[in-house]
Amino acid sequence: MTQLNRPAAVLATVVIVQFMVSLDLSVVNVALPAIRSEFGMSATALQWVVNAYIVVFGGFLLLGGRLGDVIGRRNTMLIGLGVFGVASLVGGLAQDPALLIVARAAQGLGAAALSPLSLALISVTFEEGRARTKAMSLWGASTMLGGTLGVVASGVLTDFVDWRWVFLINIPIVIVAVVTAVTGIGGLREGERPRLDALGALLVTAGMILLILGVVRTDEQGWASGATVATFAVAVILLAGFVLVESRASEPLMRLGLFAHGSVLGANVFGFMITAGQLAAFYFLSLHMQNVLQYSPVAAGLAFVPFSIGAVIGMFGVGPIVRRFGQRAALVAGGLLGALGIAWFGLAGPGGSFAAQLLGPSMVASIGIGAGFVVMGAVAMQGISAEEAGMASGLLNSSRQLGGAIGLAVLTTVAAAVTGEDRSPQALSDGYSAALLMCAALIAAGAVVAGVLVPRPEKKQAAPVGA
pLDDT of residue 461 exceeding 50, the answer is: no
What is the separation, in whole angstroms, between the first and last Cα of the chain?
A: 27
CA distances to 7, 174, 186, 275, 392 from 181, rounded to whole Å, are 11, 10, 9, 28, 21
In tens, the pLDDT along 279-321 reads 888 888 888 888 888 887 678 778 888 888 898 899 888 888 8
pLDDT of residue 464 exceeding 50, the answer is: no
Q: What is the pLDDT of residue 420?
A: 85
Beta strands in 183-293 (DSSP E): 185-188
Bridge partners (DSSP) of residue 185 are: 4
Q: Could you give the CA distance from residue 91 to residue 168 in angstroms, rounded to a whole number?
A: 8
Q: What is the pLDDT of residue 5?
A: 62
Q: Which helix (H) or strand (E) holds 4?
A: strand 2-4
In degrees, to the nearest 5, what angle opens at C-alpha 70 toward C-alphas 69 and 72? 70
Q: What is the pLDDT of residue 363?
A: 92
> What's the pLDDT band for 466 if we cut at 50, 70, 90?
very low
Q: Could you give the CA distance from residue 124 to residue 388 in angstroms, rounded to a whole number?
A: 10
In degrees, to the nearest 5, what angle opens at C-alpha 374 toward C-alphas 369 and 380? 115
Q: Which residues of 16-40 are buried (b: 16+ CB within 10 A; e: fewer)?
A: bbbbbbbbbbbbbbbbbebbbeebe
In degrees, to the nearest 5, what angle opens at C-alpha 263 toward C-alphas 259 and 266? 75
Q: Could you give the CA distance from residue 225 to residue 286 in angstroms, rounded to a whole number?
A: 29
Query: What is residue 186's three-state secondary structure?
Result: strand
Whole-structure pTM over 0.95, yes or no?
no
Q: Could you give the CA distance from residue 259 to residue 239 in angstroms, rounded to a whole number?
A: 16
Residues 376 and 274: beta-carbon distance below 8 Å: yes
pLDDT of residue 458 exceeding 50, the answer is: yes
Q: What is the pLDDT of residue 1?
A: 41
Mean pLDDT of the chain: 84
> What's the pLDDT band for 421 if we cut at 50, 70, 90?
confident
Q: What is the pLDDT of residue 258?
A: 79
Q: Could you give the CA distance from residue 64 to residue 205 in angstroms, rounded to a whole number?
A: 10
Q: Could you give the CA distance from residue 325 to residue 368 in angstroms, rounded to a whole number?
A: 16
Q: Could you give the CA distance from residue 160 to residue 227 in angstroms, rounded to a whole number?
A: 41
pLDDT of residue 407 exceeding 90, the answer is: no
pLDDT of residue 393 exceeding 50, the answer is: yes
CA distances to 2, 228, 313, 325, 327 from 319, rounded to whole Å, are 28, 44, 11, 10, 9
> What's the pLDDT band for 457 if we cut at 50, 70, 90?
low
The DSSP letter of residue 95 is -
Centroid of chain to Cα 212: 14
- Weakest mean pLDDT among 36-40, 99-103, 404-408, 458-462: 458-462
Instruction: Establish how many alpha carbons lie within 13 A of residue 234's alpha carbon, considering only the half-sphere containing its beta carbon.
Output: 12
Q: Regarding predicted confidence, which is higher, 297 or 203?
A: 203
> What's the pLDDT band for 216 if we cut at 50, 70, 90?
confident
Residues 263 and 383: beta-carbon distance below 8 Å: yes
Residues 14 and 68: beta-carbon distance below 8 Å: no
CA distances to 71, 80, 270, 284, 435 from 281, rounded to whole Å, are 38, 30, 16, 5, 8
Who contacts 207 (Cβ-Cβ below 8 Å, separation ≥6)? 235, 236, 237, 238, 239, 241, 242
Q: Which helix (H) or strand (E) holds 2?
A: strand 2-4
Residues 2 and 186: beta-carbon distance below 8 Å: yes
Q: Which of 268-272, 313-317, 420-424 has the highest mean pLDDT?
A: 268-272
Beta strands in 101-225 (DSSP E): 185-188
pLDDT of residue 237 exceeding 90, the answer is: yes
Query: DSSP for 369-395?
Result: HHHHHHHHHHHHTTT--GGGHHHHHHH
In tens, the pLDDT along 14-56 reads 899 989 988 887 778 777 778 888 888 876 777 788 888 888 8
Q: What is the pLDDT of residue 447?
A: 94
Residues 409 and 283: beta-carbon distance below 8 Å: no
Q: What is the pLDDT of residue 261?
A: 80
Residues 313 and 370: beta-carbon distance below 8 Å: yes
Amino acid, single-letter form, for residue 190: E
Bridge partners (DSSP) of residue 4 are: 185
Q: What is the pLDDT of residue 178?
A: 94
pLDDT of residue 146 exceeding 90, the answer is: no
Q: Mean of the pLDDT values across residues 57-85?
A: 87
Bridge partners (DSSP) of residue 188 are: 2
Q: Mean of the pLDDT values across residues 5-11?
A: 82
Residues 146 and 22: beta-carbon distance below 8 Å: yes
Q: What is the pLDDT of residue 460?
A: 43
